[in-house]
Every structure is written in structure tokens, then in C-alpha cells.
Amino acid sequence: MNVVSLKNRSAHSLGLLGCVALWFAAICVWYENSASKDGWSQTPLFWMLVLVVAPLSCIAAAVVLLRARRLAAQRLSWLDWCALVAGVLAVSIGGLLVVMVVSSMRGMGIL
């Protein structure tokens, strides 16, 4: 097995983990700003965009990872499993955050 094929096999997993790490940084920025009197609206726009887009990117990256493994007829490695679990966690918490924000907006009469 050559180095090029090893690098290609782990690229999808590392991309998914990078997406989750970026989402985690955005959730930390959001949490840091959620204690202010303005709440979640105090968070900078860039990080709010990352907070919303990263879970969708995690879903796309997970589909690409699973499809690449299936087409190559390879089993998932431990790195793949860790990336998939981290992606599921990011999507789940991101969905919960969206529900909390929408319910907060309904309570304020915005929606």
C-alpha cells in the first residue's frame, strides 16, 4: 500500500473532523456571548454563519465519506467512526440550538 492511497483514505475523515472543530469553535464563541444582555444576537455574524452552515457541511461530508468507503469496498476505520460520531453530535446539538432559538423568537413575538 502506498502513501498516496493512505492519504486519500483519511482525507474525508479529517475534513469531517475539521468541520466539526470549526463548528465547536463557533459554539464556544456563541456560548461566550450568550451571557450578555443581548443574548445570542451579540455573537458576531461570521460565527453565527459558521454555527448554521457547519452542521449542513458535516452532513454532506459524512455522505461523501460513506460513499467513498462503499465505492472503494473498504471498511470504516476508527478515524472514520470518530469523525462520524463527532459529526452526528454536531448536527444533533446544532438542531437543538436551532429549536431553542426559534422558540425564543416565538416567545419574543418575532415569529
Q: How far apart are CA 68 and CA 7, in angstroms?
A: 13
Q: Where does residue 97 rank: exposed (0-12), middle (13-18), buried (19+ CB within 10 A)?
A: middle
Q: What is the pTM of this model?
A: 0.77
**Residue 69, C-beta contacts closer than 8 angstroms, at least 6 positions apart:** 75, 76, 80
Q: Report, as ranges of residue numbers, the positions in the chain whose pLDDT lies below 70.
A: 1-9, 36-41
- Strand locations in 1-111, DSSP E? none
pLDDT at residue 71, as a whole number: 87
pLDDT at residue 39, as a whole number: 60
Domain ranges of the chain: 3-107
